[in-house]
Structure 1
Amino acid sequence: MDLELNTNLIILITSFVSAFMLYALFKWFLREQGSTDATKLPQSPPALPFIGHLHLIGKVLPVSFQSLAHKYGPLMEIRLGASKCVVVSSSSVAREIFKEQELNFSSRPEFGSAEYFKYRGSRFVLAQYGDYWRFMKKLCMTKLLAVPQLEKFADIREEEKLKLIESVANCCGEGLPCDLSSQFIKYTNNVICRMAMSTRCSGTDNEAEEIRELVKKSLELAGKISVGDVLGPLKVLDFSGNGKKLEAVMEKYDLLVERIMKEREAEAKKKDGTRKDILDILLDTYRDPTAEMKITRNDMKSFLLVCFLSPAISIQFSI
């Protein structure tokens, strides 16, 4: 009985794998055939079934793209497993895409961690071009990230800069090694936190520090989940369990920021006449009955998340 059950199980698994391979091979064949259509696609290196161009990618991704661009031009199509992307390696082509053809490229595709993201549909950076995208862009340009708003926090940037210099000088004076990467991360985190929520993220035991840790953890998990994009339909199985971990981290972030927002709303009357941070402006827009578009609490939490993520991502890539 056990032998018969094991045999049936093996047959079932073999049939599933064979069917999946045939399906993937069929899709690859159709894709190759479709490349001869009237729509001219960017040049692309020879691809292998299933893995695409993964065999051409080395340990350093930018170096691999640079070597491929020398052969296939400044605009080329790359397929990493089941994910397809376009690589731009020329300033003139990038200017054409982001300036001359801005509306055609305003919408952003969703990647690996999208289905585990709590604020799906509220992400300004990856929002589809439409009313929400236009409203948030206008809000950023006129209030949230406008030059007058940034100038109000010039003293904060100067203060954090002096703290950075002082910390590096202390290390040098004591003859100790100084980790500049961590120092710059601490500096950018503190500047962003103080501009967003009027509190420092490092060196104090407060809610902002907890948010920073949650954001750091979510960035690490999202990066691991994005690797699953090469698996195509199989990524929904979440083999590593990182998807569930990301959902748990996002839930903690949501509860913490919601509590901070409620506390800030209760103190709103005390903030009259004082310098407003990004959270204050978002809450004013949220309560404004005359606003062009009604933003939600998820929209605000998502925007704050982007504020905290931006320095972490930029420093990670620069290092």
Structure 2
Amino acid sequence: MKEQFVAYIRSLQNTITTALEAVDGVAAFTEDLWDRPDAVTGQTTGGGGGRSRVIENGAVFEKGGVNISEVHGKLPESMQQYFGVTNADFFACGLSLVLHPKNPFVPTVHANWRYFELYSPDGNIVEQWFGGGQDLTPYYLFEEDAKHFHTVCKEACDSHHPDFYEQYKKRCDTYFYNAHREEARGIGGLFFDYLKTTEDMSMQDWYAFVTEVGNSFLKSYVPIVEKRKGLPFSEANRNWQEIRRGRYVEFNLVHDKGTLFGLRTNGRIESILMSLPPVVQWRYDYHPDVGSEEEKLLEVLKHPREWID
């Protein structure tokens, strides 16, 4: 399964970066190949690695990354406690992307699709699962964009199980939530984790589901970008975008499990923190004007909605 999924994410990275370069029209992704140190020997290689692709200062994308990684080795003690295992080795691979557009009317987007294996001391697989999802973080709320994004997510789910969209949409609303702010990070999408073999779903079934969600990403996001990227915006719009980006940073550094895993498994810092936006504001006790479009967004973030009838 790991060879199959690694081949998939390598191909998907090529597909997505090619499409996004066409959308931007100016900037191109730069590629960075990296090795992860071996946790046992201390050598600079031996623990896997990855291929990071980053776009910056484009016509559309101010900063973004589409990264793949394949890492393995001894699971650190802190993560062994987290997973409830001892003396475990692991393998993890996945594709993770975050795009921060320049125009405040174009939403930030995040997506991740990953596969994980845990091994016993004799090398046998004792656990394996898939995880991932995709979610949208607008700065100004266009309800038709929210409905489009969620409709594509639902279509990807419905071909595998009629309950998947409702189930993973709720998990997304719960997971991407800044509890210390009592507000969601964005308007959600899908979030799933620990997708393991069951009576109804084999690992190959889960592979088919996760890859269908991954294949739907461009359809869910690119039409929104094309529709909004040319809208004129003011300095006030840009300031609001930067304030909301601060909330994005807070979630990624305080709550995000992927960031935690990367930092605790000697991951590559540049790739882990690629998700952070380039320009951010934190204003003391800031509140938008009553009745403004900015306040409208906050109301939705505090009370997650159903976007599909």
Taking structure 2 as the reference length, the TM-score comes to 0.28
Report which of the two has the higher share of strand.
2
Report which of the two has the higher share of helix.
1
Taking structure 1 as the reference length, the TM-score comes to 0.28
Larger-gyration structure (1/2): 1
